[in-house]
Amino acid sequence: MHTRLRRLVTEAFTPRTVEGLRDATVERARALLEPGREVGSIDLVGSYGQQFSLGIICDLIGVPASDRDTILSWSDETVRMYEPHPPETQQAASNAAAGSFRRYLLDLVALRRARPASDLLSALLDATVEGERLSDEQIVSTAMVLLMAGHEAAVNATANGVALLAAHPGEWQRIRSGAVSPRAAIEEVLRFDPPLQWFERWVLDDGFAVDGLGIPRGSRVALVLAAANRDPRRHPDPDRFDVARPDTAHLSLGGGIHFCIGAPLARLELETTLTELARTEPELAVIPPAIRRPTFQFRGYDRLEIALSKEG
């Protein structure tokens, strides 16, 4: 079922479909940066990234703008469950948030069934997989994954990238001067400081081995994407941040049957933000304190304030 559902959803996020969102995405970025340009600085997490990425995915799915903040708090609470060994109180809070999130989406599905709109939720209601319609629970879980995956990582990737470029002014100048395109630079940003550090898998077969090391059936394995991205056998001088690195093939968007469905959208978002900043910021300056998020799997910032020029 995963593969069939995945195929259905992937259609909404192909590079070509996503390219059609470019103009609206640039407009959204400019509008969100504008208040920061007035006052000379912006918190790239709370005032920009969250509004930007969550706004895009909510509009695509059909979540009303007035509900975005609620979605943000449910999503933040739910994903804390993915941290290693969450305490019981966190597990309970995450479960409660996921429950509210699910009930909200069930209501939204009922609304769209009564009055379809031109959004992904209505399209999922209309879709058939092998001649059968999706159940409400399948639609809700798909929408929930998209809403969470569709912004948590993108917000963190944006802040990680801007902080990195602020800390490496020479690399920023290569982007500013046009020597390296934002499109190319984001791949090195994703390699160097991935917003999702690891994922877990379970070994389902006997006789499974990695590099000659047998791993028994039933084992839980952590795939540390961030470490793989710094493997010197794959990336020469891996701890050097080089936006013009010729081979940036990283694992930050996963791989195999769970490879990130939203990769084209994630790339468009990151490219847009860097392009907009490169247009106006001769230097990228972080205004301290930059506050790192104290989480392990999701690596990002709680707050990252940067100086912003007036001319937009």
Chain contacts with ligand HEM (rule: CB under 6 A): 6, 13, 57, 145-146, 149-150, 153-154, 157, 195-196, 199, 252-254, 258, 260-262, 265-266
- Taking the C-alpha atoms of residue 46 and residue 304, their distance in angstroms, rounded to an integer, is 8
* Cβ-based nearer residue to ligand HEM, 152 or 171: 152
Question: Minimum Å distance from CB 282 to ligand HEM?
Answer: 26
- Minimum CB distance to ligand HEM smaller for 97 or for 270: 270
CB nearer to ligand HEM: pick between 86 and 169: 86
Give me the least distance between CB of 220 and ligand HEM, in Å please. 13
Cα 153 to Cα 291: distance, rounded to the nearest angstrom: 17
Longest alpha-carbon distance in the chain:
62
Q: How far apart are CA 59 and CA 216, in angstroms?
A: 44
Give residue 246's identity as a one-letter amino acid code.
P
> CB of residue 155 vs ligand HEM: minimum separation in angstroms?
8
Q: How far is the CB of 243 from ligand HEM (least distance, A)?
A: 16
Backbone angles phi, psi at 68, to 5 degrees: -60, -40
Quick one: 10 or 173, whose CB is closer to ligand HEM? 10
Q: Residue 55 or 262: which CB sits closer to ligand HEM?
A: 262
Taking a C-beta distance cutoff of 8 angstroms, is the pair 129, 91 a contact? no
Alpha-helix runs per DSSP H in 222-296:
225-228, 263-280
Smallest gap, in angstroms, from Cβ of residue 143 to ligand HEM?
10
Q: Is 294 helix (H, G, I), strand (E, B) or coil?
A: coil
